[in-house]
Structure 1
Amino acid sequence: MQDDDGGRYHDLHPGWDENPIGLERAASLIRTYEVQFVPGLLQTPDYARAVTRLSHDDAREVDRRVALCVRRQALLTAPGGPTLWAVVDEAALRRPIGGSEISRAQLDHLIALSERPHVKVQVAPFHFAGHAAAGGPFTILRFPGRDVPDVVHLEQLSGALYLDEPSDVEQYRQVMDRLCAQIEPLDRTRAILRAIRAEL
């Protein structure tokens, strides 16, 4: 994988057939569901660092991975960038990654991002005992133009899996649609985030 920086992040995504940053930038809509962590595109640098330290001890490696996370987020403010619709499980929002201060700052960041016109954040709260996306986290990337099929991204420990068969994509799209219909509506997001923040 080559990118604008001469491929310096190639080894961070072994097995990916395409430039993940390029795919996100090319998308017109990114829909993602996360269970354990705040989605990478919405993480503060401190939160991203705390998440990365869970599985990496080398300081330089942590710095590189955080830099990649921050670089990916540039698409949220780029002219003509994609719409991001993120569904985050309440467990991820309450998990004290990096400690209470970092968690509160992360929630403040989510509240601010949710006010942007191209960023939608929805919460899957605990009181919904089960929902359509119980199988785990996933991301659907939609691209402009009819010639480019939607892609489902499933992140794994040693890389990532991309699904572009229409039947697979449609299954995940239906799951995402049902999930968004079952959980708290978008206009409740900021109140939920503030309530969680107040309890940390």
Structure 2
Amino acid sequence: MIDYPRRGGPTVLRILLGAQLRRLRESRGISTEQAGYEIRGSHSKISRMELGRVGFKERDVADLLTLYGVSDPAERAPLLALAKEANTPGWWHRYGDILPSWFEVYLGLEEAASLLRTYELQFVPGLLQTEDYSRAVIRLGYSDASDEEVERRVQIRTTRQERFTSPDAPTLWAV
């Protein structure tokens, strides 16, 4: 069994659980169509689950584990717990109304990273910007944004920066 990291939020946990489910399915020679049928879904739902692109219903994971022959409670329990944990929203979900979906995935992966590298041509990298600098850059990119939206966008950047003051902070390389 894999020792899953508990740091990083739901994005990485969904990817890890999806990869484990794919390994189990493939090792048993079960098609995505068969697996989808078992959980009252489609092969594309299985694909999205295995890629970590969607949340997991614990019932679906339990049904898949049964289909894949995982009956030992000691093997099932960590995967079911992981499914539950992977559905817990990350801190960035409260900003879903102003974040593009691709950036939510990025934030989820960033949360789990131990090393971040960034290269910026025109501006100070976002993770190094002061609040005033962030506010000015955001106003340039979102000229029609309300003052409240600008402040929420600044708050996203400052929240991302807070991670770099923790004892287990990742390394940041910025050019």
Q: Same fold (TM over 0.5)?
A: no
Q: Please identify which structure carries the higher helix content.
A: 2
Whose Rg is larger? 2
Q: TM-score, normalised by structure 2?
A: 0.44
Q: Please identify which structure carries the higher strand content.
A: 1
